[in-house]
Amino acid sequence: MRKMGYLSDKFSRTFTPFGILRNLFRKPMTLQFPYETLPPLEGYRGRHALDLEKCAGCFICSMICPNKAIWPVEFKGRKYPQVHLGKCCWCQLCEEYCPNKAIKLTPHSMMVTMDKESAILGLGEEGFVPRHQ
């Protein structure tokens, strides 16, 4: 009897995998990324945005950053924090411990860049303002 069970087991095992054919008649799970994207959630930890007026220049953000991804940079006669997106680990500690909520992580997550410099969030209008917004 084991033989028969074995055979029917083997038989069912070879033909049940064809159940995948049902996927032909279903909508595919994947999205065509750059054109269709999931809606960003408002709590999502994406690219940084710095409010230049509110920033007191205390650099608590650069000290609390686990990867030392933030350091001061000269801009309009004063030092502001600059974020290196390559080093950042998106832990949002800088936003949590910034005394006057100047630096924030926006839900914007399109950070593909062709050149290394633009990976470092420079300060100019273009720098800290997310590009695609």
Partner 1 sequence: MINTVLQLCTKRESIPQLSVEERIDNFQEVEFGYAEEEMRKEASRCLQCEDPPCIEACPAHLDIKKYVFEAREGRYRDGLETILERLPFPATVGRVCPHPCEEACVRHTHFDPIANRAIKRFLADQFMDADWYPKIETKLEGKVAVVGSGPAGLAAAYYLAKMGYGVTIFEALPQVGGMLRMGIPSYRLPRKILDGEIDRVKNLGVEMKTNTRVESSDTLFKDGYQAILVATGAHQGIKLGIEGEDHPKVMECIDFLRDIALGKTVKLGDRVVVIGGGNAAIDSARTALRLGSKEVTILYRRTRAEMPADAEEVEEAIKEGVKIEFLAAPKKVFSKNGAVALENIRMKLGAPDASGRPRPQPIEGSEFKVDVDSVIAAIGQAPKAPEQFNIEIGRFGNIIVAEGDTFATSKEGIFAAGDAVSGPRTVIEAVAAGLKAADSIDRYCKTKR
Partner 2 sequence: MSIFYLIVFPGFIFFFFFSLLCEYIDRKVTARLQSRVGPPFYQPWADFIKLMSKESLVPKMADRKRFMAIPIIGVTAVVTAFIYIPLWSAESPFPFTGDIVVVIYLLSLPTVLLFLAGWHSTNVFGTIGATRAITQLFGYEVPFLLALLSPALVAGIWSFSGILNYQVEHTWFIAYLPLAFIVAIISLVGKLERTPFDIPHAAHEIAGGPVAEYSGPSLAMIHLMVNMELFAGSALVAALFLGGFDYIGIIPGFAGAIVGFIVFLIKTLIVLFILICIKSAFARIKIDQLVNMSLKWLAPMAVIQLLIVVGLKFAGIL
Partner 3 sequence: MDIEEKEIGFSTVPFGPQHPASGHFHALLKVEGEMVHELEPHPGYLHRGFEKLMEYRVHPQNCALVDRADVLDPFSCELGYTNAIEKIAGLEIPERGRYIRIIMAELGRILSHMTWIGVLSMVLGFDSANKIAWGDREKILRLNEIATGGRLYPCYLCVGGVRRDISQEFVDETSKALDYLEGQLSFYDYFVFKNETFVMRTEKVGRMSAKEAIDLGATGPNLRACGIDYDIRKDEPYEVYPKVSFNVITRDEGDAYARSLCRRYEIAESISIVRQLLNNLPDGAFRVELSPVWAAPEGESYFCLESARGEKCFHVVSDGSPCPYRVKIRAPSFLHTLSEFPYLAKGSTIADIPAIYWSLDSCPADMDR
- Which residues form the interface with partner 1 (CB under 8 A)? 55-60, 62-64, 68, 71-72, 78-80, 97, 99-100
Restricting to residues 25-64, which ones interact with partner 2 according to CB under 8 A? 26, 28-30, 32
Distance, CA of 91 to CA of 98 (rounded, Å): 13
The CB-of-41 to partner 1 minimum distance in angstroms stands at 26
Q: Which among 6-14, 47-55, 79-87, 116-124 is the span making contact with partner 3, rule CB under 8 A?
A: 6-14
- Which of partner 1, partner 2, partner 3, none has residue 122 at its interface (CB below 5 to 8 Å by kind)? none
Rounded to an integer, what is the distance from CA 130 to the centroid of its chain?
13
Block residue for tokens 């990867």:
67
133 lines the binding site for partner 2 (CB under 8 A): no
The CB-of-102 to partner 2 minimum distance in angstroms stands at 42
Residue among 23 and 113 whose Cβ is closer to partner 3: 23
Distance, CA of 97 to CA of 99 (rounded, Å): 6
41 lines the binding site for partner 3 (CB under 8 A): yes
What are the residues facing 82 on neighbouring strands?
71
Q: What is the DSSP letter of 129?
A: S
Q: E-strand spans in the chain?
A: 48-50, 70-75, 78-84, 103-105, 120-121
Query: Residue 77: left (phi > 0), alpha (psi -120 to 50), or beta?
Result: left
The CB-of-19 to partner 1 minimum distance in angstroms stands at 55
Residue among 78 and 101 whose Cβ is closer to partner 3: 101
